[in-house]
Amino acid sequence: MQREEEYIKLLKVLLQIGEANKGLPAGGDDRILDAEGLAQKVIFHAASVLYLSRSTTIREIGASFFDSASINVLGRAALEAFLVFYYVFVAPRTDYEKDFRYFSWVLADLLMRQSYPAQSPQGKKILKGERVRIEELRTYLRNNPCFKDLTPRQQKGLLSRGNWRLQNWTDIALAAGLNDTQAKAFYRHLSSYAHAGSLSVLQLRQASTANDQRFLYASTIGLVMITMAYMAKAYCAVFPKSQTALQGDPNGALLVDQWVQIGATSLNEVSIDWEAIDV
């Protein structure tokens, strides 16, 4: 990876601004911890992408290859972690909207976990306790002014099925500032890898050499770098201490700005040699 130095620097920037927030009081609920957790998720995915980009070798079975499939899946997961962070913690304009989006997001997974087949007494106890929390969240959401702006169908979808996003991933990505290609076409391409689409299988079958395998994730490396830069900007918008830490690293701040600009610029306007990232 020719731009590995820049990749590692962006990863260090994310770690640096996260550490700057260490010791911040969690507040009355877990939203600060959840915000930090989403940033951590981006860091972990990006670090794993870097590790995999250096090739996978399993001596016990005599295998050595570049795992383009996993890199593409992790790239999509990193992007979605940023998009959730932006949608829940950055985009809301009012305190009501901030609360509404956060608690809608929390409700969604609590509802999903109710369908888990818990067998142990402890597991059943947890689910029972979460049913109380679910009703508390439903009551709060019903009384939030943002709930009244939803259609009856949206209200039902939120409270009964946990449909917490009022926008699709593409619209969130565009609102966050990503260019049209990254937000639409490339995201759909990576989704094919996450959901075992036929095109992803065809590409893996045809990648017979190491160069072919690296080619399949060359653009994804660029997307992860964009994601790290956007996550750094968004995180600093939420946490002032992190913004101060970023400003204290002029080279890191400049690199973040550069990759944010790459992510925002239409590929029709500028020629970017994504393949050169990995060859």
Mind listing the pLDDT tens digit for each residue in 184-224? 888 888 999 999 999 899 999 999 888 988 889 999 999 99
Q: What is the pTM of this model?
A: 0.91
Dihedral sign from CA coordinates of 238, 239, 244, 246: negative
What percent of the chain has a predicted confidence (pLDDT) above 90?
A: 75
> What pLDDT digit, counting tens, does each position of 147-192 carry?
999 999 999 999 999 999 999 999 999 999 999 988 888 888 899 9
DSSP H stretches of helix in 54-186:
68-85, 95-113, 121-143, 145-148, 152-156, 169-176, 180
E strand or H helix at 114: none
Q: Report how far residue 30's alpha carbon sits from residue 57's, in angstroms, rounded to the nearest whole number.
A: 40
